[in-house]
Structure 1
């Protein structure tokens, strides 16, 4: 039987909300909002890095949720390739994606006006907008609109012009710096490469895939022992600007999330064996959301015992519903999301006392497991909402952004900010930086415009892909 793998709207919605919240967290007013509106370890008003502060905020969930969506998408993207392509072609496609994401990390950082010049003016802002246009040429999916030769020519011209900007577009003492990529994208590039390779090699052996993680943990835990093999492995790199073993810590998010992609494929193949009652979906959507809110609030405020109690209550309700579903039908995706999400969440909460409490930076094992568990519950929320068709317009909007995350990620820095600078309208946006309401509104307005740009591109069928 020919395998057909379709996009999953719940996963697109999760990716969409992650990228929207990423843009929002970077565009709200600086220093004047409460601490829970920023990364927990970089509190206002000074925003100095204070790694001794334990706790997480909603901002600290954004990157793990995006990593989760990337990991879940690996089986969806690779399943047909494994069945229809040679091993060499599969490996080449993985390397190609790594190279394109790495180039994206370097180019989009150096294309920002404030990176091109210490005092960016009209020239640098126009150049940033040009770079945004070049990204359409490099990453745009023109396969159905032009022939392969024309598509390749467009991409080659785009890459050459982009390289020209990175080497000749700077002003003053600014210049291209290989060690100054967009670190978020570079980490994603490493995770796309290693996560996909590991999934490919363990596609038929789940235990082997998860078994990779204790070895990664062992290298991390013993890497501080002088002269040990762990230290050698941890410090070795063929190119320090490109790869560090330190990046592999996010495999603790990527590899568990690949399970979700496999469950989605199974769900598409088998279909719903029996409809779950609408009331169950409604309860699961509420409970899943409460688990996330409870953990963010209590871990930030350090009410650890209270968090364990409420997490146990909410997860217990979800597990009870999962048990009822399991009694009446085969183990479906809803039950699996609850089981694995609960397991990872409580594993992370029991790691909370280790390494000085849960932290994004420097990230702790509690952070990996708690955030991955919460991502499973967020996926559960969107899956349930889609099944009962609740907040359909909202989830569809998120899904449209989730289908085009690269545009959403760059539209603010390379298009919107330069336009605001050139037209001198940035002063109106910055005038909102007074108090909580104004500071939040600044971010909401900025994020809304970025979201609109992304949705328009998606509706027009314009996608950036690697």
Structure 2
């Protein structure tokens, strides 16, 4: 009986491209005179900017990876307890990092440590705690480095001060940050997948429930419908990826993969159409307000992109075309964290780009070059086994 391989190169390439664009968009946010369509749409706008498609694509791709990762753990002989620990520990890591990142936004100017210093130190601690240490390293050394990272994060939390001189406060969640949102979404969707034993019918049912819940939250119910996960927008996007890879796996299993092209095309176009239809009735299109139209449109776009890369990479074998950005697909979290060092050092040493490098098309070229340099650096780190295991 046939089945999908444990790792699909098409997913790695799609993830790499998405991470490249995420770094680029974040860097380009400081560039003046860029086209409005490239940026995020404002909260009050009924619109979809190019930047508004990147994060939902990442959530969808996370969903694509969940079944493959869990199946791999099971095939290695992991028990139920080990699989659940794997899911919970990955989720906890993302939530902790997201929690610290959110508090960067409100760091007080009067804090004991300057914001940039605190940012550099917490990022270093993330590497100490979640580094993919080689199996050949002595356990004592590994545990010591991990312990130093954990202890340092605790100390940095104690030293933290947010707010201002009049209204100081300790660390808190105004939201969970990008990594925290991924963490909660991963936790919910991975548990659903594992508890349903990957049943495609049950996964589709779960996806529909999440989508309907989001629609309800933006029509006649409160947006903050559920504790923490609110309108379940992130979970709906991630579960869309879980369902998509489930369909692909099923077609491989019954040896009907030729149907994939028609099914994914219909599904992608259908989701985009659904987004346009529901747009006037559920608060329009908005990433910031996580509306149903945004979810449908981004899911449809991403599944069509996934279909394209299945054909280009898995069928035609063109993975080498994307060799330059490969580390962004295999050491993705490392790629995401490195820019925090970049931003912190720029702030700490008050570095400013010449205006010509921070405006218009030249500024965008500089942002893309910066993104590629970061990915290249991560590629060098990957060769030295300096990558996070999350």
TM-score w.r.t. the length of structure 2 is 0.84
Q: Does 1:461 align with 2:378?
A: no
| Residues 9 and 399 in structure 1, CA contact (< 8 A), matched pair in contact too | no
The 1:129/1:219 distance shift into structure 2, 3 A limit, reads closer
Match of 1:209 in 2: 203
User: The residue matched to 1:97 in structure 2 has which SS?
Assistant: helix
Which one of the candidate residues 109, 112, 124 is aligned to 1:118? 109
| Residues 400 and 455 in structure 1, CA contact (< 8 A), matched pair in contact too | yes
Cα shift at 1:265: 5.5
The 1:263/1:460 distance shift into structure 2, 3 A limit, reads farther
Match of 1:375 in 2: 302
Matches within 5 A, 1:36-435: 36-40=37-41, 42=42, 49-50=43-44, 53-82=45-74, 84-110=77-103, 112=104, 116-118=107-109, 124-168=115-159, 170=161, 173=165, 176-180=170-174, 182-222=176-216, 235=225, 237=227, 243-246=228-231, 248-262=232-246, 330-331=257-258, 333-386=260-313, 387-390=315-318, 392-413=319-340, 415-422=341-348, 426-434=351-359
The 1:183/1:169 distance shift into structure 2, 3 A limit, reads closer
Q: How far apart, CA to CA, are the structure 1 residues paired with 2:218 and 2:263?
A: 37
- How many residues end up aligned between the 2 structures? 384
**Structure 1, unaligned runs of 5 or more:** 43-48, 238-242, 274-328
Superposed CA deviations along residues 296-324 of structure 1, whole A, max 9, x for unmatched, are xxxxxxxxxxxxxxxxxxxxxxxxxxxxx
Bigger radius of gyration: 1
Cα shift at 1:165: 1.4
Cα shift at 1:54: 1.8
Q: How far apart, CA to CA, are the structure 1 residues paired with 2:226 and 2:273?
A: 33
| Residues 219 and 234 in structure 1, CA contact (< 8 A), matched pair in contact too | no
TM-score w.r.t. the length of structure 1 is 0.72
Cα shift at 1:401: 0.7
Q: How far apart, CA to CA, are the structure 2 residues paired with 1:4 and 1:364?
A: 33
Cα shift at 1:95: 1.8
Q: How far apart, CA to CA, are the structure 2 residues paired with 1:268 and 1:222?
A: 35
Superposed CA deviations along residues 150-207 of structure 1, whole A, max 9, x for unmatched, are 4333222211112211221559746542214652111111100001111112234222
User: Which range is displaced more, 361-370 or 61-70?
Assistant: 361-370
| Residues 286 and 294 in structure 2, CA contact (< 8 A), matched pair in contact too | yes
User: The residue matched to 1:6 in structure 2 has which SS?
Assistant: coil
Cα shift at 1:75: 0.5
Cα shift at 1:449: 2.9
Match of 1:18 in 2: 18
The 1:89/1:18 distance shift into structure 2, 3 A limit, reads same
User: The residue matched to 2:357 in structure 1 has which SS?
Assistant: coil
| Residues 14 and 398 in structure 1, CA contact (< 8 A), matched pair in contact too | no
The 1:401/1:219 distance shift into structure 2, 3 A limit, reads closer
Match of 1:278 in 2: none
User: The residue matched to 1:353 in structure 2 has which SS?
Assistant: helix
Q: How far apart, CA to CA, are the structure 1 residues paired with 2:353 and 2:224?
A: 48
**Structure 2, unaligned runs of 5 or more:** none
Q: How far apart, CA to CA, are the structure 1 residues paired with 2:323 and 2:18?
A: 14
Match of 2:8 in 1: 8
| Residues 19 and 329 in structure 2, CA contact (< 8 A), matched pair in contact too | yes
